[in-house]
């Protein structure tokens, strides 16, 4: 059986089996594209029991599955070296997301639409569209992984072909909060140690650290991006000789660890439908990561403008986690699908036009299911259709749907409860942490949030609103408590940055920022008495501030007419069992007086 499996791989492989060749030889023959369109099928291989392999956290994969890790590193490096004009190459698949704004595999865009990529943002299709996108990336990368396994010395082929079968792309779980630690070293190290195809230990350029263009194809990019021959993170400048500042990326990520965690947590606890979870919670957190990796708009690396973000290798790790978080939410809400919505001006892309309706029957171009049809939203909800699952979504290991649902709820409770849960219970448990037990009444506490609503047509470029608490004295540090990110393609940029007054009946973009964790820090420092409104409302009236940028340019408070910022609270109960998610009251209490009189403040 093993011999037949290897033989079939050999027949499929177009690469020369030559273990004696050095790994870094750029002249190794590439994989020859087949005739016809590239169909997105995922990976066919299943275990002997008929189950799909698992996408694992990147640190888990490296530490506990060394053979899979080895062929992953070599395969990804090979993928990145593939001929850039091949539609199945790393370069061309990355280009589907944004630049170079070209049709991929004859998936034509809408006539009259502005130049743009295929990716969907700020809408309900965000998660659904990226699922087959990653499946395409995974299936083409897997071919290189298989090819590498067959190039290994003969005594290692069986070992590494078995690893290649089990390979699925990993994710970086950036939403774990403090328990997840900082950025994994394997993402920031310029080199990585592997066993090469000659069977010897060697160090190669880390394919998770950067991608080298060889070169940018003429006409594909614009502005400074034309002359950058490698992907950058927090570049030292906008000049051609700029280099990445990984330490700045790490520090910026560390600064938002808790905020990311709580944004995802609130999405699991508060969102009542898939549209809300995707747009208000998941996509916002996802935008923070893009910004933390890439850098500020006026001096960004490739991960920040979504037009170029897919070229940075971290993109796949990042979006694999987005897909996983979505899969967990879908498992927790098996009966909830996308609520139909209408495309407006800031959702237009290569294939979506203003006025289009998107729903579960919507196509997902350019991902061909057959030679003539695209995958639809309703067809991609189950990740196993593409040949993978996540550690939390292995539903075949449970005796019933109820048991599986209980496990999903336990995952959400243990991994993604709001950090206030651990803070409020840690001291009482005798951990030595600050004791906030006095803030609980009948095991419940008051949760505080900022809710933002903006006229969608007013957001003409990437919009970021950062919320902070100012100190008592001018010399005191300003504490960032959260941010609202609305990522926009560069194709939406306009010269005017002003947030113009628009019809109050038009569609709104909604945002959410959790405040409770920051308020607990203030209580621990002696700056605030409790989480009760009598203490919090005057505190926030004095301390809460915000700054907005659009397209990297500051937006004065006087120009925030179409943005409404409101502080609200709700009651949250902490179940006795750590396996049960937090229980949020359906009733919220707004406090418009907190923000009234400030730019974008609520009307009293």
**Is the predicted pLDDT of residue 70 greater than 50, yes or no?**
yes
Q: How far apart are CA 338 and CA 376, in angstroms?
A: 12
Residues 470-486 have pLDDT tens digits of 976 566 678 889 998 88
Q: Which pLDDT score is estimated for 114? A: 86
Determine the 3-state secondary structure of 149 from DSSP.
helix
**520 to 48, 463, 474, 529, 593: CA distances (angstroms):** 51, 28, 22, 10, 21
| Bond from prior residue into 215 cis (ω within 30 degrees of 0) | yes
pLDDT in tens, 384-416: 999 999 999 999 999 999 999 999 999 999 999
pLDDT digits (tens, 9 = 90+) for 435-483: 788 899 999 999 999 999 988 777 777 889 999 999 765 666 788 899 9
Q: What are the structural domains, with CATH classification, of the chain? A: 2-397 (1.10.1280.10), 417-594 (no CATH)
Q: In what order do the strands lie in the sheet with 508-514?
A: 508-514, 444-455, 563-573, 583-591
Tell me the average pLDDT across 144-160: 98
pLDDT of residue 31: 39
DSSP per-residue codes, 128-141? HHHHHHHHHHHHHH
What's the pLDDT band for 34 if we cut at 50, 70, 90? low
Predicted pLDDT of residue 198 = 96
First to last CA, the chain: 74
The model carries a pTM of 0.91
Over 80: is that where the pLDDT of 501 sits? no
CB 98 within 8 A of CB 310: yes
Strands 341-342 vs 201-205: parallel, antiparallel or unpaired:
unpaired
pLDDT at 25 over 50: no
The model's pLDDT over 552-574, given as tens digits with 9 standing for 90+, comes to 889 999 888 889 999 999 999 99
Average confidence (pLDDT) over 577-584? 95
Dist CA 117 CA 97 (whole Å) = 5
Give the 3-state secondary structure of residue 363.
strand
Q: What is the pLDDT of residue 485?
A: 85
Please enumerate in sequence order all residues whose Cβ is within 8 A of that of 558, keeping only pairs 6 or more positions apart, or say none. 599
Contacts of 499 (CB under 8 A, 6+ apart): 454, 458, 459, 550, 555, 559, 560, 561, 562, 563
Q: What digits encode the pLDDT tens for the residues 83-114? A: 999 999 999 999 999 999 999 999 999 888 88
Average pLDDT of span 367-375: 97
pLDDT class of 5 with cuts at 50, 70, 90: low
For residue 29, is pLDDT > 50? no
**Secondary structure (DSSP) of 239-294:** STT----HHHHHHHHHHHHHHHHHHHHHHHHH--SHHHIIIIIIHHHHHHHHHHHH
In the prediction, which pLDDT does 524 show? 93
What are the CB-based long-range contacts (under 8 Å, 24+) for 213-218?
Answer: 213/84, 213/91, 213/311, 214/81, 214/84, 217/84, 217/85, 217/91, 217/100
User: What band does 433 get if pLDDT is binned at 50, 70 and 90?
Assistant: low
Task: State the Cα–Cα distance between residues 351 and 32, nearest whole angstrom.
Answer: 29
Relative to beta strand 553-555, strand 374-376 is unpaired
Q: State the DSSP H helix or E strand holding residue 480, giving kind and residue range, or none if neither.
A: strand 479-486
Instruction: Note the pLDDT tens digit of each residue in 201-246.
Output: 999 999 999 999 999 999 999 999 999 999 999 999 999 999 999 9
């Amino acid at each position: 059986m093993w011999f037949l499996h290897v033989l079939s791989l050999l027949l499929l492989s177009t690469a020369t089996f030559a273990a004696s060749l050095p790994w870094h030889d750029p002249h190794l023959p590439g994989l020859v594209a087949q005739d016809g369109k590239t169909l997105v099928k995922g990976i066919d291989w299943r275990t002997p029991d008929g189950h799909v392999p698992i996408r694992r956290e990147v640190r888990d994969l490296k530490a506990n599955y060394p053979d899979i890790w080895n062929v992953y590193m070599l395969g990804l490096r090979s993928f990145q070296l593939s001929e850039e004009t091949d539609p199945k190459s790393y370069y061309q698949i990355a280009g589907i997301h944004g630049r170079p704004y070209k049709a991929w595999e004859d998936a034509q865009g809408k006539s009259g639409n502005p130049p743009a990529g295929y990716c969907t943002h700020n809408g309900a299709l965000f998660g659904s569209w990226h699922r087959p996108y990653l499946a395409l990336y995974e299936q083409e990368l897997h071919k290189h992984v298989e090819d590498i396994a067959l190039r290994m010395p003969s005594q290692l082929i069986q070992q590494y072909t078995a690893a290649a079968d089990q390979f699925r792309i990993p994710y970086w779980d950036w939403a774990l909060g403090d328990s997840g630690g900082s950025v994994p070293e394997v993402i920031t190290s310029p080199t990585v140690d592997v066993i090469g195809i000659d069977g010897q230990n060697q160090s190669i350029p880390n394919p998770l650290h950067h991608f080298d263009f060889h070169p940018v194809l003429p006409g594909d990019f614009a502005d400074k991006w034309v002359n950058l021959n490698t992907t950058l993170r927090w570049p030292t400048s906008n000049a051609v000789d700029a280099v990445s500042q990984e330490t700045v990326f790490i520090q910026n990520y560390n600064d938002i660890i808790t905020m990311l965690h709580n944004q995802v947590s609130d999405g699991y606890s508060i969102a009542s439908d898939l549209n809300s979870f995707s747009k208000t919670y998941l996509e916002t957190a996802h935008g923070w990561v893009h910004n933390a990796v890439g850098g500020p708009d006026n001096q960004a690396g490739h991960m920040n403008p979504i037009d170029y973000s897919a070229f940075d290798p971290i993109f796949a790790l990042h979006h694999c986690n987005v897909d996983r978080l979505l899969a967990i939410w879908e498992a927790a809400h098996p009966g909830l699908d996308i609520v139909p919505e209408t495309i407006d001006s800031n959702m237009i892309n290569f294939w979506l036009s203003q006025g289009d309706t998107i729903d579960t029957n919507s196509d997902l171009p350019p991902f061909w299911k057959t030679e003539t049809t695209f995958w639809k939203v309703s067809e991609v909800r189950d990740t196993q259709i593409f040949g993978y699952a996540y550690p939390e979504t292995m539903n075949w290991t449970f005796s019933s749907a109820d048991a599986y649902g209980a496990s999903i709820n336990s995952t959400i409770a243990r991994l993604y409860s709001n950090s206030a849960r651990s803070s409020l219970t840690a001291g009482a448990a005798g951990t030595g942490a600050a004791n906030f037990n006095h803030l609980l009444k009948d095991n419940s506490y008051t949760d505080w949030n900022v809710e933002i609503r903006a006229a969608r047509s007013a957001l003409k470029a990437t919009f970021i609103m950062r919320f902070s608490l100012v100190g008592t004295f001018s010399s005191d540090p300003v504490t960032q408590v959260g941010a609202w990110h609305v990522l926009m393609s560069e194709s939406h940029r306009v010269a005017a940055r002003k947030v113009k007054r628009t019809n109050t009946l038009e569609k709104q973009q909604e945002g959410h920022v959790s405040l409770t964790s920051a308020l607990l820090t203030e209580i621990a420092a002696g700056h605030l008495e409790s989480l009760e409104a009598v203490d919090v409302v005057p505190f926030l009236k004095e301390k809460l501030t915000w700054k907005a940028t659009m397209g990297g340019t500051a937006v004065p408070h006087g120009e925030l007419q179409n943005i409404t910022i409101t502080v609200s609270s709700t009651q949250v109960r902490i179940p006795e069992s750590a396996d049960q998610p937090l229980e949020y009251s359906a009733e919220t209490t707004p406090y418009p007086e907190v923000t009234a009189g400030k730019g974008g403040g609520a009307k009293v």
